[in-house]
Structure 1
Amino acid sequence: MSFKGDKKEEEDGSSNPYANLDKTIVLQESRYFNESSVHPRKCTHILTKILYLLNQGEKFTTQEATDAFFATTKLFQSKDVMLRRMVYLCIKELSCMAQDVIIVTSSLTKDMTGKEDLYRAAAIRALCSITDSTMLQAIERYMKQAIVDKNPAVSSAALVSALHLSSSAPDLVRRWANEAQEAISSDSAMVSYHALGVVAGSRRNDKLSTVKLVTRLARAPLKSPHALCLLIRLAAQLVEDDESDASQPYIEFIECCLRHKSEMVIYEAAHAIVNLRKTARDLAPAVSVLQLFCGSSKASLRLAGARTLARLTAKHPTAVAACAVDLENLISDSNRSVATLAVTTLLATGAESSVDRLMKQISGFVSEISDEFKIVVVRAIRRLCTKFPRKHQALAAFLAAMLRDEGGLEYKAAIADAIIALVEENPDAKEMGLAHLCEFIEDCEHTALAVRILHLLGREGPKSRHPSRYIRFIYNRVILESGPVRAAAVSAVAQFGAQRPELLPNIRVLLSRCQMDDDDEVRDRAIYFSAILDTGDEQLINDYIVNVPKPNPVLLEKALRDHLATRPEEPFDIMAVPSEEEPKEHKEAVVEIEVRKPVQVSIEELYSEQLSKLPGIERLGPIFKTTAPVDLTEAETEYRVRLLKHVFARHVILQFECVNTLNDQLLEHVHVRLETPPEYEIRAIIPAPKLEYDKPGSVFLILDYPSAFVDSLGVFGATLEFTVHDCDPNTGAPDSSEGYADSYPLEEFGMGCGDQIRARAVTEDWEPLWERAANAPEASDTFGLSQNNINDAAAAVCEHLGLPKSAISGDAVKEIRAQGIFRGGAPVLVRARLVAGGSGEAVTMKLAARSPREDVAQLLLAAI
């Protein structure tokens, strides 16, 4: 009977064999991998448990991940196909947490180049996830071969790995573009798609190359629908960047894709046309396609069509009006998301007489949809409030009912925004809107929203017919809410006292009670407003309570910067700062299908385009790191120069970013004369042709590092040299004179250990890691530091050696533990113990470093 019960649970889909896994037990089970003879099926089951825990967000310590990783590597001896593929997956997932993962590189490289296709694709993915960017050159030849491999799985794995590596080693991946170009013509849809992604990514900073790529592929459309979708996006981007007639061929190509046999391509083309800011007539082909999607038997296509049409109504409601019949049919759709989008689109495009009927249909299923689609409904109703002001009672009542429902901050904020807009735009709706908001803040859980509503009540409440009714709701917030809400309530109450004299005696009583509040901000506001109200000076009350000038924070910052740069000795006039920015041409929002997250760009990526233009840069290999910029001049000087160091394995590029702050001078032939330590050799100097007023330019110097690592430490002297031409301050045009040579001394700068190492803190499982490196060469010494405070000393050591501050631990005795990679790829472990001396005595530090390269360990000691 128990067996039957288990079988029944399995059939119902309610049983999860991995639901109650314990990490400790699973890790103990993984020790089974170390036995001399293992059963493949049992090993596969254990690996599945590990992967399940990792994908459920279970946190593994560094030691746990390392032990599991090395236990898994013992299974490379197995010939079982399924087990080996699970091994690759586990290696890939554990590599980001475990230490010394580089040890399996040779095994993965062997499988990557072997004859067993089932292993090769997985081995490529695992290898590229564990290989450091400095070690990628060793497998570059194999990656190029894999990209053009006849097996689609192998080729696709190599291309996807290249896409992932493009963020850490863009220069290296760029060299694989020729092989990827060849793979675009593959018969496999995914290989073609991934290859186009690699080629387009390698050309993203070169517009001319991108134009050539899109033009060539548009003439002979791709077989892969996925690749064609990506090509449509590239073509649409070119149209966005160039609105001249030269972009017409790309528009024609996108419109041609509307007749493709793949629904995916058709929708991508329609979506691109909708986003290209065209007139209603230009949108007609795309709208026709979306109209057909609305009548499709597939729910996904109906949703896509309805959602895009709903977004389009904000820009071109007349273009969507032609789809009214099809959208009416979707109101009763079984998919509530589709029905919601259909109704909101009809609300935006329909007549005033149809509003009541559509609102009834919305109320029937609004509680069944997600917050995302509820926000779509709210925004549609907000537009209706502006479009049909006579319907404000029904619309406000509907919004108030939604406000009482369950929902998150974004959903509630959207409703509050709609009611606030209604109050501000329609005088007839003010009393009712404020009443709904007063009821809402009685149970509002969101501080930011409550503060905003209180601000509105303070501004609009005193102007209403019965202002006293709102004071009770506001004062309740002083009694019941958190500090920020209480402070906002005090400001709102003061507005009533300032604008309604009949309420002033009661307001004084309320403010006097607030002067005993626990929160400093609440007490200060209450005392401040009481003092102003007690003066009875109408002008003072108006200037400091009712009509307080509120300058735009962005414009205020700009005005302060300009003041400091031009006339810092004069007093600053805050009243001269405008409260609003000058109106600018508004760029229409793109009709997005999903929210795009902002891309985080590293400093290496930020400067990659500038470096790629330097002659001979490709011979230096991949970049190791770019240091943070350092100012070599004072902030207020006539020329501002800051230095960035782009570090490679055997070379360093010094980039001097220069700005000319004199509007009556034009600088030409700008270069830097460098005084280097004797072991450095300057390979090339790339000057800046000219420096116009307030337009940055850069001077580059390429240097060879000394062959001995210890010799790389040193101090450099630098002088900015240029030819000066006097010019018109207004036009910037230089005079006819030949100009004269001049120079400007820059501050000295050093090349330290921190510039040449990438390090991270190691706080957990340090001792086993340190012991595993016991056979590596070690350098150690004891130092007396100049600092007397142990905290300052530890921070200074970390900054000097390029170690993160998080590597510091301990209280009375500070310990620094870190591991890193030195330029060229040599790993290094650093351990330092700092002990405070007696009163007034210096801090003592014992520093030890272990690395396979003894000269790297010696360098760390020499840097102190």
Structure 2
Amino acid sequence: DAGIPLHLDKSTVLQEARIFNATPIMPRKCRILLAKIIYLLYQGETLATVEATELFFSITKLFQCKDMSLRQMVYLMIKELSTISEDVIMVTSSLMKDMQPKSDVVYRGNAIRALCKITDVSMLPGIERFLKAAIVERNSAIASAALMSSYHLFWQAKDLIKRWGNEVQEAVNCKTASSGGGFFSSSSASSGSSAAAAAVNASSTMVQYHAMGLMYAIRQHDRMAVAKLVQNFTDNSSGSGSRGFFGSGGGSGGVIRSNLAHCLLIRYACRVMDNDMQSSRQLYDLLEGWIRHRSDMVSLEAVRAICHLRNVTDKDLTSAVASLQLFLASPKATLRFSAIRTLNELAATHPQAVSVCNVDMENLITDTNRSVATFAITTLLKTGNEVSVDRLMKQINEFMGEISNEFKVIVMEAIRSLALKFPAKHPTMLTFLSNVLRDEGSYDCKKAVVDAMLDMIREIPACKDAALAHLCEFIEDCEFHKLSVRILHLLGNEGPFTATPSMYIRHIYNRVILEKSVVRAAAVNALTKFAVNVTDPGLQTSLRILLRRCLEDRDDEVRDRATWALRVCNNATASDRYVKDTSMYDLGALETKLYQYCADPLASQEAPFDTSLVPRLSKAQAEAARQRARVLGSDLAAAASLPVHRGAVASPGGAAAGSQGKLGAMGGDAAHGGTGTLSPNAAGSGGISAVEQQAQYAQQLKAVAEFADFGPLLVSSFKPAELTEAETEYVVRCVKHVFPRHVVFQFDCTNTIADQLLENAFVVMNDQEDGEAGLVEVASVPTPKLLCDETNRTYVAFARTDALEDSGMADAASLPPLSGTFAATLKFMIKDCDPTTGEPDSDEGFEDEYVLEDVDLALADFMQPMYLGDPARVWEELETAPGERVETFALSAFDTLQAALDSVVDIMGMLPCDGTDKVPPQKVSHTAMLTALYLGKVKTALRVRLTTVPQQPGVMMELAVRSQAELVCEAVMEAVA
């Protein structure tokens, strides 16, 4: 009745807090003042620790008042101030008193929440008895309060709360709700609760929902326990007499009364399907049955679960799509929105399955809810055919002005996908996109349109001229400087190679005259690219005149770029290197190298930063990285909209070890022909660059005391070698690190046995060639503990015998590569442990060992695959290098050029450039270029020429290598011979 407390002042409100000390207590005034304080806190006001503490102790005096509404406000304030004020534990006794079974129902539930908010984990055993009793309390309000408080405390005291499984299971089975008490009902005969108990008489189903969530938190790391939790309810919920997915008879499971709990059960069932493929069919049948549940919420959850199943087929989606089709005709806007949004997500992967709903979705284009209409049109764009494009585009135009910018972005993404799907319809798409550019819109909306046009230019060459013309028109009146810079960059790259490059120069020079400095600088860069790349002498002269005018610009950046441009235009060598070369630095690797350089105080004193050590990306690699980033962004966005049961799918392990032996000893295809896709910007499944990956390794190795004096890390092997099968008890991968005088073998060990704890795990390595590898072991670093599904590292370090003899040997050009084969055995102490906590059952254990695959050390482990720039230019630059060798080999073990090339790439560990790792079909000869940095410093280029000779088996190969170090050329030839 006091209204909303607007325009409050914190100081004034805190002064009013003196009313809490008044005698007698005035409940109504205290309630209003507490509401004001809470309002201030919710509006972002902060209280100092002293202020909060004084306020807290003033509020505790209100426990003397028995007014129920005031007591509830006091509980709320205690929770809000618990993280700010000091000595909040002093109120524990008052809260414990309110938690007693004879206390009022309203007091008990709120007291439990407040006490669990302020209590310390060390004090939890003291209130354990009260919480366990509250969980099985017949009153649903008290039980829910105890369950949710236990859930929040679980992450701080897992071991203690895991012992409450029986009480939580009783709550899951709805024993607390069976008595029919309402939210404020009570088993006690307290006089103060009778009125509240009569106010709400319906039975609450929230207890089962909260209990199921807590039960899953307790059992989530025990796959069998989670499966049994699901089976306990699926046996009865799927119908009487049915058999569970473990083969047990039905009828003994619990009954689900809560729709929210049913949704949780569906999500848990999907997690069981992820972990146990054998039960997938039975659980899929249950999901299909739950589609027909009487609750729309449960039905929709089951539908979404089926749509997001891994490897689901169009046939499996039939029932789910049919249910969504019925939801599309629902009079409830929420159901229509949920259904069309699910179909929109599904259309990205299964357009044929969704196409049966096209007629229903077309009816939704005119839906009064514009969100539903937007999703309907974008889904139709994904599922439609080429004939329906024009009709759909006309319908989109009709409501584009009525939807928000966020939905316009969604429409633009659908238009982009449709344009790439039906290239012949690009005129219609470009007209639509250009109209959106002319209309008002946010930055994100315009950016989505520009992205769509850029993708069309890359993928549909026929639309390049028209798209560039639309973009030129857009930058004439563009308020977003970032987009202007992007478009100018595009014009500089594509404009000089069009039929009429002069038509774009006017638009570019207008930016020099009219725009801000950042856009003017981008325009100068674009004019420079035109001046270097156009072939018309008259046009080149005109462009130089325009660039000279830029020398008078008021901005230093613009003048400097113009000066540089004029100099480059008159120097063919400089223009080839800085303008025509389309490669670019790997920005992530550049950042890492600069960070390392700046972190070393002696580096800047010894030598300037060496840009030659930073990997470069070709235009194709940069485009591939951009596409990967876009796909990754789409996947993350899609994952954010999925139910919680959909986790990231683990990648199936890396390349197998091997392929490091002699070329003549290998027959057939290489173990992994995909090595040709090695890229400095795509190391492993994480998508990080090889240089960034090596920087991570360097940080990890730097933390190991035994390696402190090994010096800088030169190179790490690009691909971890798998030393075990992926399905074995222990999974081990090996990464090799090369230092100036040492080689370190890193073993990533994973324990997959739930009830075993491995301690003091280490790897024993023996040179199978009796020391011919030139290494002597100097250190072994074990991992102290290895729990189930946990990966830890153990190391074995070797010193080079040649480096021990010559202590001054530190230059990379003087370090020859080593080769050898080592037998490896993993040794450890096994202890039985609790699968849920990982704690050992006793201190006793026994020693055991596990034989691993042999570990090979070869030339590829000393190479860092890296794009060094245009391969032809790099080859020419190395013409004067001290190292060059050319030899011819007859490879009788290979039947195809591709198999021979894959083997060469595997053995060398170098990066194939410009897609030369793939041999076109039906070709009888092929040339591939490979580049790398030996030990991360020495530039090396390899030219591989392959040909087949008629009526002769095998492949003929000419191998030419150029390097800044002669020993690298010799090592390359020895690796192949």
TM-score if structure 2 supplies the norm length?
0.58
Secondary structure at 2:269 match in 1: helix
- Report the Cα distance in structure 2 between the residues aligned to 1:416 and 1:723, rounded to whole angstroms: 53
CA distance in 1, matches of 2:531, 2:123: 72
Query: Match of 1:99, SS?
Result: coil
Equivalent residue, structure 2, for 1:634: 707
Query: In 2, distance between residues paired with 1:496 and 1:463?
Result: 9
Tell me if structure 2 keeps the 8 A contact 1:668–1:723: no
Evaluate the alpha carbon distance shift between residue 696 and residue 388 of structure 1 in structure 2; reply closer, same or farther with a 3 A threshold: farther
- Whether contact under 8 Å (2:361, 2:376) holds in the other structure is yes
Alignment partners' CA distance in 2, 1:500 and 1:77: 89
Tell me how far apart the structure 2 counterparts of residues 492 and 32 of structure 1 sit (CA, whole Å).
72
The CA deviation string for residues 338-385 of structure 1, in whole angstroms up to 9 with x for no partner, is: 112112222222233333332233233223223332222111111221
AA aligned to 2:148 is: V
1:219 to 230, 235, 241: 235
**Displacement of 1:203:** 3.1
Residue 299 of structure 2 aligns with which residue?
Answer: 266
- In structure 1, what is the equivalent of residue 117 of structure 2? 129
| Distance 1:65-1:561 versus aligned 2 partners, 3 A rule | closer
The CA distance in 2 between the partners of 1:299 and 1:561, in whole Å, is: 53
Deviations 1:185-230 (A, max 9, x none): 1244322122221222233334343333334343344332211211
Percentage identity across paired residues of the two chains: 45
Please tell me whether the aligned partners of residues 660 and 696 of structure 1 are also in contact (alpha carbons under 8 angstroms): no
Is 1:179 the counterpart of 2:163 in the alignment?
no
Structure-2 change in CA distance of 1:130 and 1:211 (3 Å): same
**Cα shift readout 1:218-261 (whole Å, capped 9, x = no counterpart):** 3344332211211211222333355x444333323322221222
- The counterpart of 1:687, out of the listed 759, 772, 784, is 759
CA distance in structure 2 between the partners assigned to 1:521 and 1:99 by the alignment: 56
**Structure 1 position 191 matched with structure 2 position 207:** yes
- Counterparts of residues 355-374 of structure 1 (less than 5 Å): 355-374=389-408
Residue in 1 aligned with 2:45?
58
Shift of 1:574: 5.7
C-alpha deviations, 1:309-347, integer Å up to 9, x for none?
A: 112111111111111221122222211111121122222
Distance 1:346 1:723, change over 3 A: closer
Whole-angstrom distance in 2 between the partners of 1:516 and 1:134 = 73
CA contact (8 A) 1:663 1:732 kept: no
Q: Superposition pairs for residues 48-127 of structure 1, below 5 Å?
A: 48-114=35-101, 115-127=103-115
Q: Which moved more, 1:487-496 or 1:548-557?
A: 548-557
2 CA distance for matches of 1:434 and 1:124?
66
Are residues 460 and 241 of structure 1, via their aligned partners in 2, closer, same or farther at CA, if it must alter by over 3 Å?
farther
Q: Match for residue 808 of structure 2? A: none
How far apart in 2 are the matches of 1:103 and 1:443? 66
Q: Which moved more, 1:136-145 or 1:576-585?
A: 576-585
**SS of equivalent to 1:282:** coil
Does residue 257 (structure 1) correspond to residue 290 (structure 2)? The answer is yes
Q: Is the 8 A contact 2:532 2:569 kept in 1?
A: yes
**Structure 1 residue matching 2:173: 3-state secondary structure:** coil
**Alpha-carbon distance between aligned partners in 1 of 2:426 and 2:107, rounded to the nearest angstrom:** 66
Q: Secondary structure at the match of 1:150?
A: coil
Paired residue secondary structure (2:762): strand
> Counterpart of 1:281 in 2: which secondary structure?
coil
Change (3 A) 1:460 1:166: farther
After TM superposition, give the deviation of residue 289 of structure 1 in Å. Answer: 0.9
Cα shift readout 1:369-411 (whole Å, capped 9, x = no counterpart):
2333222211111122123333323322322333344444433
Q: Distance in 2 between matches of 1:700 and 1:179?
A: 33
Identify if the C-alpha distance between structure 1 residues 368 and 26 changes in structure 2 by more than 3 Å, giving closer, same or farther.
Answer: farther
- Segments of 5+ residues of structure 1 without an aligned counterpart are 1-9, 563-568, 600-628, 641-657, 670-684, 702-719, 740-864
Within-5 A mapping of 1:214-293: 214-221=230-237, 222-241=256-275, 244-276=277-309, 277-293=311-327
Contact 2:589/2:615 (8 A) holds in 1: no
Shift of 1:297: 1.4
1:264/1:464 Cα in 2 relative to 1: closer, same or farther (>3 Å)? same
Q: Check conservation: 1:659, 1:696, Cα contact below 8 A.
A: no
Report deviation, 1:721.
12
The amino acid that maps onto 2:319 is: P
User: Which amino acid in the other structure matches residue 31 of structure 2?
Assistant: T
CA distance 1:250–1:28, change in 2 (3 Å): same
TM-score, length of structure 1 as denominator length: 0.65
The one-letter amino acid paired with 1:189 is: T
Q: Cα gap change, 1:597/1:289 in structure 2, threshold over 3 Å: closer, same or farther?
A: closer
Question: Is residue 201 from structure 1 mapped to residue 235 from structure 2 by the alignment?
Answer: no
1:398-437 paired onto structure 2 within 5 Å: 398-437=432-471
Q: CA deviation at 1:512?
A: 4.4
Which amino acid is the alignment partner of residue 533 of structure 1?
C
SS of 2:784's equivalent in the other structure is: strand
Deviation (angstroms), 1:302: 0.5
In 2, distance between residues paired with 1:547 and 1:523?
A: 23
What amino acid maps onto 1:355 in structure 2? Answer: V
Distance 1:67 1:594, change over 3 A: same
Q: 2:31 aligns with which of 32, 37, 44?
A: 44
Instruction: Name the residue aligned to 2:885.
Output: none
Q: Which residue of 2 aligns with 1:29?
A: 16
**Aligned match of 1:699 in 756, 773, 784?**
784
Higher relative contact order (CA 8 A, sep 6+): 2
Per mean C-alpha deviation after superposition, the further-off stretch among 509-518 and 400-409 is 509-518
CA contact (8 A) 1:112 1:120 kept: yes
**Candidates 303, 308, 332, aligned match of 1:298:** 332
**Alpha-carbon deviation of 1:293?**
0.6
Q: Is the 8 A contact 2:434 2:470 kept in 1?
A: yes
Picking from 322, 326, 330, the partner of 2:364 is: 330
Measured after TM superposition, the shift of residue 483 of structure 1 is: 5.5
Letter of the 1:108 counterpart: L
Specify whether residues 691 and 503 from structure 1 end up closer, same or farther in structure 2 by C-alpha distance, changes over 3 A only: farther
- Matches of 2:151 and 2:303 in 1, distance apart? 27
Matched residue SS, 1:691? strand
CA distance in 1, matches of 2:463, 2:396: 22
The separation in 2 between residues aligned to 1:549 and 1:631, in whole angstroms, is 37
Give unpaired runs (5+ residues) of structure 2: 178-203, 238-255, 597-606, 646-701, 714-733, 750-756, 766-778, 787-793, 799-817, 829-977
Q: Tell me which residue corresponds to 1:532.
A: 568
Does 506-515 or 210-219 show the bigger shift? 506-515
**Are the equivalent residues in 1 in contact too, given 2:746–2:796 (CA < 8 A)?**
no
Work out whether residues 556 and 577 of structure 1, in 8 Å CA contact, stay in contact via their aligned partners in 2. no
Q: Deviations over 1:129-185 (max 9, x none)?
A: 223444434333322222222221222122222333334444444344443233211
Per mean C-alpha deviation after superposition, the further-off stretch among 517-526 and 332-341 is 517-526
Cα displacement (A) at 1:104: 2.0
Match of 1:704 in 2: none
Map of 1:396 onto structure 2: 430
- Aligned position for 1:376: 410
Distance 1:211 1:729 in 2: 50
Letter in 2 for 1:259: R
How far did residue 34 of structure 1 move? 1.9
CA distance 1:735–1:430, change in 2 (3 Å): closer
Q: Which residue pairs with 1:163 in the alignment?
A: 151
